[in-house]
Amino acid sequence: MALLPMAPQGLIQQKNLVEQVADFLTQGVIEQRFMPGERLSEVQLSKDLGVSRAPVREAARLLESRGLLVSRPRRGFFVKALDAVELQDVFDLRLCLERHAIERLAQRYTPEARLALERQVDVLCEAAASDSGTRRIEEDLQFHRLMLHYAGNERLLRAFEGLAHELRLCITLITRTHEAPETIATSHYQLLEALASQSGPACREAIDYHIGVARDSVVRGINEAGVQEEGGAR
C-alpha cells in the first residue's frame, strides 16, 4: 500500500523519507493512534509504511529529541506518557521562554512585527470562529512562534519548537475542555496591547495571565477526563 499521499501538492521535491515517517509518527501520537506508553516496533512500522528500518529509526530518534518518544536501550521506542507533573513542567518552561521573549520583543517592537502579529491574531480569530480543533491549535501556536521569532533570538525559538510538540500533544488530548474560542482571541489582543505599550511589566503580566489560563484549562481537562495512568512506573 502507498504509505503517504504520494503527490505532495505541486512541489517538485519530495521530502526525505525520514521526515515523512516523522510526520506520520507525530500525527499518530497526537491523534492517539499510538497510545501513551505503547511500544513502537521498528519492523512493524517498516512493514506498515513500506520502507526500510533505517528511516524509521532516524525518524524515531527525531521524535525522541522532540520529547514525543522515549527510547530505552535494547528495548526500543515508547510513546511518551505525560503525567500531571510533567504537564506542569511543560507550561512552566513555556512561561519561562515566553516571558523572556515578550520582554525582549517589547524593546524592539518594530512595525513589521506588530503587523505580523496583528494579522496572525486575525487569522486566529477566523480559525476559531469557523474551523474545529486542529487548525485552531495550529494558528494559536503559530502566533506564539511569531512572537518568539520577532524577539530576535533564533535559539529561543528553537527551544520553543522543542516544546511545541509536547504542548500540542497536551492541548490536543483534552481539546474538549478548551475555553471558548472568543476568550482565547481576547486574550491574544491583550498581549498585543501590552506589546504596544512597550512596558516590560505589562507584558509580563499579560503573558503570565495568558499562559496561566491555558495551563489551568489543560489541568482542569486532565482532572475531568480522569487520567488513565496506564504507562505507570519504571
Least distance CB 153 / a second copy (angstroms): 5
The letter for the amino acid at 220 is R
Least distance CB 205 / a second copy (angstroms): 16
The one of a second copy, DNA, none whose footprint includes residue 52, by CB under 5 to 8 A per kind, is DNA
Is residue 107 near a second copy by the rule CB under 8 A?
Answer: no
Separation CA 83–CA 87 (nearest Å) = 6
Dihedral angle computed from the Cα positions of residues 213, 79, 89 and 116, in that order, rounded to the nearest 10 degrees: -50
The letter for the amino acid at 52 is S
The one of a second copy, DNA, none whose footprint includes residue 217, by CB under 5 to 8 A per kind, is none
The one of DNA, a second copy, none whose footprint includes residue 55, by CB under 5 to 8 A per kind, is DNA
The one of DNA, a second copy, none whose footprint includes residue 53, by CB under 5 to 8 A per kind, is DNA
Phi and psi, residue 70, nearest 5°? -130, 145
Least distance CB 54 / DNA (angstroms): 4
- CA-only gyration radius of the chain, Å: 19
Is residue 91 near DNA by the rule CB under 7 A?
Answer: no
Least distance CB 150 / a second copy (angstroms): 14
Is residue 55 near DNA by the rule CB under 7 A?
Answer: yes
The one of a second copy, DNA, none whose footprint includes residue 43, by CB under 5 to 8 A per kind, is DNA
Is residue 53 near DNA by the rule CB under 7 A?
Answer: yes
- Residue 131 is given by DSSP the state S
Separation CA 47–CA 131 (nearest Å) = 35
**For residue 70, what are the β-bridge partners?**
78
Separation CA 210–CA 167 (nearest Å) = 15
CB-wise, 69 or 97, nearer to DNA?
Answer: 69
Least distance CB 185 / a second copy (angstroms): 28
Q: How far is CA 64 from CA 26, 56, 79, 135, 184, in A?
A: 11, 12, 9, 24, 30
Least distance CB 32 / DNA (angstroms): 20
Is residue 1 near DNA by the rule CB under 7 A?
Answer: yes
Separation CA 190–CA 197 (nearest Å) = 11
* Residues at the site binding DNA, with contacts judged by CB under 7 A: 1, 5, 16-18, 40-44, 51-55, 57, 71, 73-77
